Amino acid sequence: MNRAKLNNQNFLLREHAEQQFAEELAELAKADQRQRPPNWNLSPWAVTTYLLGGTLENGFVVSPKYIGDRRLIEIAVATLTTDRALLLMGIPGTAKSWVSEHLAAAISGDSTLLIQGTAGTSEESIRYGWNYARLLADGPSMEALVASPLMVAMEAGKIARVEELTRIPADVQDTLITILSEKMLPIPELGDEVQAIKGFNIIATANNRDKGVNDLSSALKRRFNTVVLPLPKTIEEEVEIVQQRVESLGRALELPVQAPALTEVRRVVTIFRELRSGISDDGKTKLKSPSSTLSTAEAISVVNSGLALAAHFGDGHLSAKDIASGLVGAVVKDPIQDTLVWNEYLETVVKERKDWTDLYRACRDVGS
């Protein structure tokens, strides 16, 4: 029994995508006249519309979940209709997990069949384990077997998700090869097997930064189509992502403030992009980059914590004072190196911008 289901939905801290966007998914299913692959809840077209947003014929508006290149999402969705699995790669905070969750929600109506990859992920957590009380009492049987999320997905014809695939030790990763090529999972203890139902596939995510930790074997690589999710191309795109996510997070956390001031979002995003690229917006000043990734996801949390400060300890309007501490915290991860980089940036770029005086002062106050 799922204990969360017993709780009042209104009190869940975070709903699964298929719960949060149930209405959108239902409207899409109603409007969707195109052919659906076996066991898919929606057609590839409708899945793509769910991810990228759009307006249905009856006027219903589907919100965009992913902001970026349409083609990438089309390739990802198309891959899942084939016998190859999907690998989403990219640096931290490029929405790999986010896209994976929404794809599973739209295709299978279930984003919860998830294996979190770590250095300690064992073969059992990918294949199956045993209920030892029953195993000892009755010996090995299907009833004593505890299916992994992957096995459940195979039996139900759903999408399974594997997070951080490259953190899983190489020999354990190889368990996936039989599953992906034979579409079956042997259970030698029972002389039995589980054969995957149509609709089953895997979406894995992997972080570029972890490259080399446990690189994928070429045998496994061949069974995946890789889609690389990039950082937002333009500042407009990135501002839109931050603005939209902060708004919906604010709603979910019931923060009593209005939409975040666009000027502050723009400043945070500008700073992140400048430090990431090592050059100021006007192309005039070369900058050193800090050790931190400064991803879009981090920009979202800087603005979000700023909003919480403004709501609970300020006047409800997001100001430079509210974002300064989050900003410094995001940039300065290494207390020595990054402090140097940050101070240089403050003095050469932030200080020089006439309309950024408030931010300059607020950041100086954090530092002292």
Our CB check for Mg ion shows the closer of 95 and 350 to be: 95
Residue 62 binds which entry of Mg ion, ligand ATP, none, with Cβ cut-offs from 5 to 8 Å by kind? none
342's contact among Mg ion, ligand ATP, none, with CB below 5 to 8 A by partner kind, is none
Rule CB under 6 A: say whether 235 interacts with ligand ATP.
no
Residue 156: CB atoms within 10 Å: 17
CA atoms within 13 A on the CB side of 303: 35
Q: Are 209 and 159 in contact (CB under 8 A)?
A: no
Torsion of CA 353, 358, 362, 365, to 10 degrees: 90
Segment 145 to 184, residues that bind Mg ion, using CB under 5 A: none
Q: Which two tokens stand for residue 159?
A: 């999408």
241 binds, among ligand ATP, Mg ion, none (CB under 5 to 8 A by kind): ligand ATP
How far apart CA 159 and CA 105 sit, in angstroms, is: 9
Contact 43, 25 (CB under 8 A): no
> Pick from 146, 150, 232: which is nearest to 184 by CA?
150
3 state DSSP class of 97: helix
Q: Please say which residue, 97 or 289, places its beta carbon nearer to Mg ion.
A: 97
Torsion angles phi and psi, residue 152, rounded to 5: -60, -45
Of residues 19 and 97, the one with the C-beta less far from Mg ion: 97
The interaxial angle of helices 320-331 and 296-313, nearest 10 deg, is 140
297 is in the binding site of which of ligand ATP, Mg ion, none (Cβ under 5 to 8 A by kind)? Answer: ligand ATP
Interface pattern 269-298 for ligand ATP (x via CB under 6 A): ---------------------------xx-
Judged by beta carbon distances under 5 to 8 A according to partner kind, the member of ligand ATP, Mg ion, none in contact with residue 95 is ligand ATP
CA 127, distance to chain mean position in Å, is: 24
Are the C-beta atoms of residues 85 and 204 closer than 8 Å to each other? yes
Residue showing tokens 């898919």? 40
Looking at the Cβ atoms of 54 and 92, the one nearer to Mg ion is 92
N- to C-terminal Cα separation, the chain = 53
Q: Taking the complex as a whole, how short is the minimal distance between the CB of residue 338 and ligand ATP, in angstroms?
A: 19
For ligand ATP, the closer of residues 37 and 92 by Cβ is: 92
Q: Which residue of the chain is nearest Mg ion when measured via CB?
A: 97
Identify which of 31, 257, 197 has the alpha carbon closest to the alpha carbon of residue 50.
31
> Closest separation between CB of residue 56 and ligand ATP, Å?
21
Question: What residues form DSSP beta bridges with 201?
Answer: 159
- Least Å distance, CB 205 to Mg ion, is 5
Check binding of 348 to Mg ion (CB under 5 A): no
Q: Two tokens at 170?
A: 């190489």
Cα gap 196→180, rounded to integer Å: 10
Q: Out of ligand ATP, Mg ion, none, which partner does residue 154 contact, by CB within 5 to 8 A per kind?
A: none
- Based on CB atoms, which residue is closest to ligand ATP, 123 or 237? 237
User: Using CB under 6 A, which residues numbered 47 to 66 contact ligand ATP?
Assistant: 66
User: Nearest approach, Cβ of 89 to Mg ion (angstroms)?
Assistant: 11
When asked if residue 97 is in the footprint of Mg ion (CB under 5 A), the reply is yes
CB 107 within 8 A of CB 80: yes
Question: In angstroms, what is the minimal distance from the CB of 68 to ligand ATP?
Answer: 4
Contact indicator for 43, 32 with CB cutoff of 8 Å:
yes
CA–centroid distance for 26 within its chain: 23
Binding mask 194-233 for ligand ATP (x = CB under 6 A): -----------x-x------------------------x-
Binding to ligand ATP (CB under 6 A) within 81-100 occurs at 90, 92-98
Interface residue list for Mg ion (CB under 5 A): 97
Interface residue list for ligand ATP (CB under 6 A): 66-68, 90, 92-98, 205, 207, 232, 241, 245, 296-297, 300
